[in-house]
Structure 1
Amino acid sequence: MYNREGTVVKISPRLEANSKESYYRLEVVASDLQTVAKSSELDNMEHRLHHLESKVNQDVGKTPDIMSELKSHVESFKRKLESVEHLSWIGLFKDDGEQHLAKFTPKPKTPQLSVQEERQQVRRKFLNISSLQVTEDVRELLKTPTFDNWQWEEAEMLVLLQVMYTSLDFLSALNIELEVLQNFLFEVYCHYNNIPFHNFQHCFCVTQMMYGLIWLTDLRNKLGRTDLFIMLTSALCHDLDHPGYNNVYQINAQTDLALRYNDISPLENHHCAIAFGILAKPECNILKNLSSEQYKHIRGGMIKYFSVFSICCVSVLHLLSHELLSLLSLGRCILATDMARHNEILNKFKSIQSVFDFTNKDHKEVLMKIMVKVSDISNEARPMAVAEPWLDCLLQEFFHQSDTEKQKGLPVSPFMDRDKVSKPSSQTNFIRFVLLPLFSELTKLFPCLEQHILEPVRRALEYYSDMEKASKDEEATTKP
């Protein structure tokens, strides 16, 4: 964007409005429209919707709620494509005395490229833009749960992760070389698979939420840099090489992972092993300049908090599928153990609320576990436009697993069966029995979080409850 004098200006909400005397000129420097639906395809979809709506109106005399909702989604998506399809580059500027927009080369869509070649393209772009200055507006937004992950490319997300590590002073406090950090972040990116939910973008969201909570609760002045590093790095690595099939599937299918870890949290053990495998590479070892005691503390902390991610997943299993747990009722069953630890951690956190002491090692440890749990399952604390697509991605992954279970004759996970699970019903119980109790307890210690994470979750419960009621009302009216 240029002002009337032809000088490049930063796009910001604080810019003065256009006028005849003072106006701006826009120049498009980057686009990636090949990655989205073509306008003609959207027009065709709209035409088909209008035709279907007319036929329904003729048959029943009114437009069903589901049809209105579908039209709204299509119109919203089209507006987004036409206005802000790819504007994330706005947030990055070179720091060379005179700010100007970095002109990024769009990632070419070349299907013949191998996965390795595509990753190298991301690496080159990441390194090319890593020295650019991220604007203060973006830095501040990065500290909040309202951050929209859908507007950022993979290379840009790597830059923002670099910002998180540098702004929390990890490089100076832990003597981390910038080049080594960049190698580490890129290797982490390479070890996330291209699956609907547990992918690199999910990893970024969990890490960004942890980063935001650290700032919102002022943990920078309440915990040491090493503890903050453990929390952020655990979030970053928590789903490394996730195959898209959960622990229950691994155990029932007797996969290599389940056999390797004796059915004990196979995925979480695998994620942790991959993380330390990356750190074992000299060019990626961000811990190489630490003392042996510091390394042992960080390794022990990360292993401990990886087990907490397992608890997050199991808590959902417990609430949505009692039948599944009954299939796994052996005394040493990991699911039962994990669920008991989930209750133990939450109850312990409740018990220390009134006397919480940041100088107490046990108190801090419980808080860090709670922060890890909250970050991992925090999508519903985000704006609905950001959160709802994540639910669609999760259900897609769930349904794929249950389809595979049916094909292989394995026990079918009830909460993943596309024939039994609806979008609203999958969320109402999850929000009511998992998110609200957990988020409420954290908010008691940090009242400032009520507006940032608790209120959005309450609104999400109302949203999905209304959707569930509307769906049941529609079923009732259509029954003969």
Structure 2
Amino acid sequence: MVFKEQDGWTNYTCIPRQWEDAEIMVLLQVMYTDLDFIATFNIEPEVLQHFLFEVYRRYNNIPFHNFKHCFCVTQMMYGLIWMTDLKSKIDSIDLLTMLTSAVCHDLDHTGYNNAYQINARTELALRYNDISPLENHHSAVAFEILEKRESNIFRNLTIEQYKRIREGIIKCILATDMTKHNEILSKFKMILPVFDFKNKDHKDVLMMILIKVSDISNEARPMEVAEPWLDCLLQEFYNQGDMEKLEGLPVTPFMDRDKVTKPSSQTGFIRFVLLPLFIELANLFPCLEQHIVDPVRKALDYYTEMEKALERDKQNRAQEKATKSKESAPGSQAASDAQTASVQECSKTAAQ
């Protein structure tokens, strides 16, 4: 199965517009089948298809947080499960929880983040009292889909199994709120030296870490995959910044197209968010070092060099502008010479 090839599993994901949506739905079905969820939890194929179609319908046509992003995150989660041999370490029901959380994690995303929702006092912010408005909404939409019998892939589970999955999905999706990043990472670092796969609290934190890694994993992929996605993300960010300016709201950091460049948006994020998170996961699973940590380090080098090149270009343009301004300024030698030549020419004309 191509998704499990250790040397290439991160390549099997979508560059924007590379895959058709119908193909993506088939690939998602393959993941559920390949992880033995169909047989283990008696998920009827037609119910899974209906579930995925309902999921597809509830992702919006926006630049980044769309159905293809859903697939990328789910594919990364699927790859991490195989790479870390999680099937031998935790229950299948937890694996089902993680994969389904990845599928549903951005349902009905509006393209405007929580800061906008709260500052603009949107319906979502009012409904969820400014507490993770988007993530609460994504989770609620997921269970709206699962409430319908024809799309409830958990309908053959026991009540206790369903409660466990519901609790897990809610925790995982809420963990994707980046305002909780430091809190979750600190918990993980604290338990890492004594991590126990049989300890429920430890396992819950690991599940949150895994979906966080999956959600922001684009820079772990080859540059020809990662960079087009960054362009899409920046387009969505700039759209929000434009809207905030239009509505007189505070412009969210990194979303002002007049101040943020592609490399400047990435260098700090990779250095202070991605690498610390990915390194800690690799401390638990050393096999991930070459697959997610090394590529992110290369991405940091790539954007650092791009940022330096832009800065050099900016300085050169500023220097050229200053030189031109100096040459044309009153009192400059060039201006004085031009003025002298003009006077001489006028004198000659008058004498004639």
Q: TM-score range by the shorter chain?
A: 0.7 to 0.9
The match for 1:58 is none
Is 2:2–2:9's contact at 8 Å kept on the other side of the alignment?
no
Distance (Å, rounded) in 1 between the aligned partners of 2:75 and 2:6: 10
* Residue 145 (1) aligns with residue 10 (2): yes
Q: TM-score, normalised by structure 2?
A: 0.87
For residues 221-236 of structure 1, the aligned pairs below 5 Å read: 221-236=88-103
C-alpha distance 137-252 of structure 1, shift in aligned 2 (>3 A): closer
Please state whether the residue corresponding to 2:9 is helix, strand or coil.
coil
The match for 1:269 is 136
The match for 2:254 is 415
Identity rate of aligned residues, in percent?
68
C-alpha distance 142-174 of structure 1, shift in aligned 2 (>3 A): farther
C-alpha distance 257-440 of structure 1, shift in aligned 2 (>3 A): same
Is 1:380–1:460's contact at 8 Å kept on the other side of the alignment?
yes
For residues 143-185 of structure 1, the C-alpha deviation after alignment (integer angstroms, 9 at most, x for no partner) is 8222241332111110000000011111111111111001001
Kindly report the root-mean-square deviation, in angstroms, between the aligned alpha carbons of the 2 structures.
Answer: 1.4
The match for 1:344 is 183
For residues 277-298 of structure 1, the C-alpha deviation after alignment (integer angstroms, 9 at most, x for no partner) is 0011111011111111111111
Distance (Å, rounded) in 2 between the aligned partners of 1:371 and 1:414: 26
Distance (Å, rounded) in 1 between the aligned partners of 2:229 and 2:51: 26
Distance (Å, rounded) in 1 between the aligned partners of 2:27 and 2:287: 25
Is 1:414–1:420's contact at 8 Å kept on the other side of the alignment?
no
For residues 420-446 of structure 1, the C-alpha deviation after alignment (integer angstroms, 9 at most, x for no partner) is 101101000000000000000001111
Is 2:13–2:75's contact at 8 Å kept on the other side of the alignment?
no
The match for 2:208 is 369
* Residue 169 (1) aligns with residue 46 (2): no
Distance (Å, rounded) in 2 between the aligned partners of 1:360 and 1:197: 36
Q: Which runs of 4+ in 1 moved over 6 A?
A: none
For residues 100-139 of structure 1, the aligned pairs below 5 Å read: 136-137=1-2
The match for 1:475 is 314
* Residue 391 (1) aligns with residue 258 (2): no
Please state whether the residue corresponding to 1:463 is helix, strand or coil.
helix
Aligned residues: 317
265, 283, 286: which one aligns with 1:426: 265
Higher relative contact order (CA 8 A, sep 6+): 2
Distance (Å, rounded) in 2 between the aligned partners of 1:411 and 1:476: 29
Please state whether the residue corresponding to 1:415 is helix, strand or coil.
coil
The match for 1:4 is none
Please state whether the residue corresponding to 2:254 is helix, strand or coil.
helix
Distance (Å, rounded) in 1 between the aligned partners of 2:102 and 2:6: 19
Distance (Å, rounded) in 1 between the aligned partners of 2:101 and 2:141: 12
Distance (Å, rounded) in 2 between the aligned partners of 1:456 and 1:259: 40
Please state whether the residue corresponding to 2:175 is helix, strand or coil.
helix
Distance (Å, rounded) in 2 between the aligned partners of 1:213 and 1:394: 23
C-alpha distance 390-459 of structure 1, shift in aligned 2 (>3 A): same
Distance (Å, rounded) in 1 between the aligned partners of 2:215 and 2:70: 9
For residues 261-318 of structure 1, the C-alpha deviation after alignment (integer angstroms, 9 at most, x for no partner) is 11111111111111000011111011111111111111111111111011x3x3xxxx
Structure 1: gaps of 5 or more residues = 1-135, 315-337
Q: TM-score, normalised by structure 1?
A: 0.64
Is 1:436–1:454's contact at 8 Å kept on the other side of the alignment?
yes
Distance (Å, rounded) in 1 between the aligned partners of 2:182 and 2:262: 26
Structure 1, 160-169 or 343-352: larger mean CA deviation: 343-352
User: How far does residue 203 in structure 1 lie from its aligned partner after superposition?
Assistant: 0.4
Structure 2: gaps of 5 or more residues = 323-352
Distance (Å, rounded) in 2 between the aligned partners of 1:404 and 1:456: 34
Is 1:427–1:461's contact at 8 Å kept on the other side of the alignment?
yes
The match for 1:306 is 173
For residues 53-452 of structure 1, the aligned pairs below 5 Å read: 136-137=1-2, 140=5, 144-150=9-15, 151-310=18-177, 312=178, 314=179, 338=180, 342-452=181-291
Is 2:119–2:249's contact at 8 Å kept on the other side of the alignment?
yes
Please state whether the residue corresponding to 2:176 is helix, strand or coil.
helix
Is 1:253–1:410's contact at 8 Å kept on the other side of the alignment?
yes
User: How far does residue 142 in structure 1 lie from its aligned partner after superposition?
Assistant: 11
Distance (Å, rounded) in 2 between the aligned partners of 1:402 and 1:197: 15
Distance (Å, rounded) in 2 between the aligned partners of 1:142 and 1:302: 30
The match for 1:461 is 300
C-alpha distance 237-347 of structure 1, shift in aligned 2 (>3 A): same
Distance (Å, rounded) in 2 between the aligned partners of 1:137 and 1:454: 22
Is 2:278–2:293's contact at 8 Å kept on the other side of the alignment?
yes
For residues 316-335 of structure 1, the C-alpha deviation after alignment (integer angstroms, 9 at most, x for no partner) is xxxxxxxxxxxxxxxxxxxx
